[in-house]
């Protein structure tokens, strides 16, 4: 069902942290903090990912001049087993913590839940997500130095984290509506083609949103999915057109925006919860504040498989959560 | 919501394929180059007075050593990305598949990290390679009876 946020909840501060490849991409200069070594002064890659979350949230809070006591709740998630990057990385904040797992959809999921919390409790909430290429490779694929080849449909996990602060009465970017996704059996079991696995989930959520809200794609300045990459982007456009929704003029995907795909060897594009989060914080939301985008549909897309489910031959379950944002 | 099998077939058809001709050519010349390097070491060891038996041992050891070093300094995977089977099939690929998880899992400790995970990629090759050689040995023995 369509959820309307009635109480004027706005995203009033945000910050993004990234790694070497993200710095080389077209959005590189918009990051608040970059560590080219991607270590973030930590011993393990998992801790590096947690540290990215800490830096992102600290920067977002500093920008707004907030201290720990001002934030009511934290909604945070990542790709690691048991979401350790969020719980360990954000341990130093004295803020109640709600851990989330939505795979790569977590940016939209955490912003959605944070806005509901801010709406019902009239308090400030934070949404933080991250992914790290090195920790994700270790958990989901092969050791980092393993000499393998990737298929053209494979995507690169973005090393990045972004934090968003939401509350009433400050900032320009208002959260208007939410549409949570349904878990979709994509029938795709190739973990190197997550774009095709997630596209049906994006189509499902978008279609339900247009039907329930009575709007059309042309009512929005931009419709951006999280990390479908080249493959999922094309399939989504095609499937939406079959349903009578022409996305051509307004549609984009964070997986295609984060890297310069013509130069950087990233196959079908970027992925991971960091992908949509950092693209929102470095490109989409600044564009909204400048007034270039007034009405945005931001759709976090997630592939919910685990290494175990993939090895046991289960198809990839996917999900897409939609956030409708608009400029005051 | 469930998609049907038609979607799976559609996605498979829609997906761009790996450039097989380019991949084969790369694998051919890089794999061939590794063999030439092996042969050069073989000639070198023999010229220094090593016996045929010793040379057969020294050449793989040298290639494994080099592959391990290149893996350790982070060069191997950059070559393998282009070379594919060219670096995977020779003994260099085996060395890489052992050294890479060893480096990767050091953070979890010497026993449960490095010790337990070192053969996570090479393990199946070792297991089924040994099994295949046992079966081959049995067939060889039975055929020899007649």
Whole-number Å distance between alpha carbons of A258 and A158: 8
Structure tokens at A259: 């890297």
Reported as a single tens digit per residue, the pLDDT across A15-39 is 999 999 999 999 999 999 999 999 9
Interface of B with A (CB under 8 A): 1-5, 7-8, 11, 14-18, 23, 71-72, 74, 76-77, 79-81, 83-84, 87-88, 93, 96-97, 99-101, 103-105, 107, 120-121
A188 touches chain B (CB under 8 A): yes
Arithmetic mean of pLDDT, A145-167: 94
Rounded CA-CA distance A256/A258 in Å is 6
Nearest residue in A to B19, CA atom: A152
* pLDDT at res. A33: 97
The pLDDT assigned to B56 comes to 95
Average pLDDT over chain A reads 96
- Domain ranges in chain A? 2-168, 173-327
Residues A276-303 have pLDDT tens digits of 999 999 999 999 999 999 999 999 999 9
List the 104-163 stretch of A: residues with Cβ below 8 A of B: 138, 142-153
| Assigned CATH class of A173-327 | alpha beta
- CA–CA dist A321, A171 (Å, integer): 23
Give strand pairing partners of A129: A77, A162
Which residue of B3, B84, B105 is in closest CB contact with A186? B3
CB contact under 8 Å between B71 and A144, yes or no, is no
Partners of A191 on chain B (C-beta within 8 Å) are: none
Q: What is the pLDDT along chain B (146 residues), one digit of tens a residue?
A: 788 889 999 999 999 999 999 999 999 999 999 999 999 999 999 999 999 999 999 999 999 999 999 999 999 999 999 999 999 999 999 999 999 999 999 999 999 999 999 999 999 999 999 999 999 999 999 999 98
Indicate if the alpha-carbon torsion angle B25, B30, B32, B33 is positive or negative. Answer: positive
pLDDT band at A148 (very low <50, low <70, confident <90, very high): confident
In angstroms, the Cα distances linking A146 to B35, B38, B76, B120 are: 21, 22, 8, 11
- For residue A328, name the pLDDT band (cuts at 50, 70, 90): confident
User: Which pLDDT score is estimated for B2?
Assistant: 82
Distance from CA of A265 to the nearest CA of B (A): 11
CB-nearest partner of A145 from B3, B5, B77: B77
**Would you say A201 and A108 are in contact if contact means Cβ atoms under 8 Å apart?**
no
**Confidence band for A158, pLDDT divided at 50, 70 and 90:** very high
Asked if A143 and B7 come within 8 Å (Cβ–Cβ), the reply is: no
Q: Do A235 and B11 touch (CB under 8 A)?
A: yes
Is the CB of A313 inside 8 Å of chain B's CB atoms? Answer: no
- Residues sharing a CB contact under 8 Å with residue B134, sequence separation 6 or more, in sequence order: none
pLDDT at A27: 97
Q: Which of A264, A179, A185, A150 is nearest to A5 (CA)?
A: A179
For residues B42 and A300, what is the distance between their CA atoms, to the nearest angstrom? 57
- pLDDT single digits (tens) A66-87: 999 999 999 999 999 999 999 9
DSSP line for B1-34: -B--HHHHHHHHHHSPPP-HHHHHHHHHHHHHHH
Mean pLDDT in residue range A198-207: 97
User: What is the CATH code of the structural domain delimited by A2-168?
Assistant: 3.40.47.40
First to last CA, chain B: 63
Q: Do B100 and A146 touch (CB under 8 A)?
A: yes
Q: What is the pLDDT of residue B144?
A: 94
Q: Give yes or no for residue A127 having a pLDDT over 90.
A: yes
């Amino acid at each position: 069902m369509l959820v309307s946020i009635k109480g004027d909840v706005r995203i009033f501060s945000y910050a993004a942290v990234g790694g070497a490849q993200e710095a080389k991409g077209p959005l590189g200069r918009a990051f608040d903090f970059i560590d080219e070594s991607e270590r973030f002064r930590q011993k393990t890659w998992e801790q590096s990912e947690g540290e990215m979350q800490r830096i992102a949230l600290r920067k977002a809070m500093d920008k707004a001049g907030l201290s720990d006591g001002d934030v009511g709740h934290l909604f945070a998630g990542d790709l690691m087993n048991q979401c350790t990057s969020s719980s360990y990385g954000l341990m130093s904040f004295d803020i109640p913590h709600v851990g989330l797992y939505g795979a790569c959809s977590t940016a939209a999921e955490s912003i959605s839940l944070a806005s509901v919390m801010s709406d019902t409790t009239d308090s400030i909430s934070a949404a933080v997500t991250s992914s790290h290429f090195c920790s994700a490779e270790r958990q989901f694929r092969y050791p980092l130095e393993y000499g393998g080849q990737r298929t053209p449909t494979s995507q690169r996990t973005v090393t990045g984290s972004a934090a968003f602060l939401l509350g009433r009465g400050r900032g320009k970017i208002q959260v208007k509506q939410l549409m949570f996704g349904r878990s979709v059996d994509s029938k795709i079991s190739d973990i190197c083609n997550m774009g095709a696995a997630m596209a049906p989930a994006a189509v499902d959520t978008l279609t339900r949103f247009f039907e329930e809200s009575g709007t059309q794609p042309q009512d929005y300045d931009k419709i951006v999915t999280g990390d479908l990459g080249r493959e999922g982007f094309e399939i989504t456009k095609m499937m939406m057109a079959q349903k009578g929704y022409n996305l051509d003029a307004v549609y984009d995907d964070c997986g295609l925006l984060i890297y310069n795909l013509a130069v950087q060897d990233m196959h079908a594009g970027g992925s991971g919860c960091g992908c949509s989060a950092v693209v929102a914080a470095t490109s989409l939301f600044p564009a909204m504040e400048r007034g270039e985008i007034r009405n945005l549909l931001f759709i976090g897309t997630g592939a919910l498989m685990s290494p175990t489910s993939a090895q046991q031959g289960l198809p990839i379950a996917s999900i897409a959560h939609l956030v409708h944002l608009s400029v005051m | 919501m469930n998609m049907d099998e038609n979607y799976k077939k559609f996605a498979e058809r829609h997906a761009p394929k790996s450039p097989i001709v380019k991949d084969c050519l790369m694998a051919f010349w890089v794999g061939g180059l590794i063999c030439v390097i092996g042969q050069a070491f073989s000639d070198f060891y023999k010229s220094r007075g090593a016996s045929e038996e010793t040379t057969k041992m020294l050449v793989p050891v040298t290639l494994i050593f080099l592959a391990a070093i290149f893996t350790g300094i982070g060069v191997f995977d950059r070559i393998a990305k282009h070379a594919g089977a060219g670096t995977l099939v020779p003994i260099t690929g085996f060395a890489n598949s052992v050294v890479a998880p060893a480096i990767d899992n050091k953070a979890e400790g010497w026993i449960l990290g490095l010790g337990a995970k070192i053969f996570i990629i090479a393990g199946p090759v070792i297991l089924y390679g040994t099994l295949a050689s046992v079966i081959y040995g049995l067939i060889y023995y039975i055929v020899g009876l007649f």
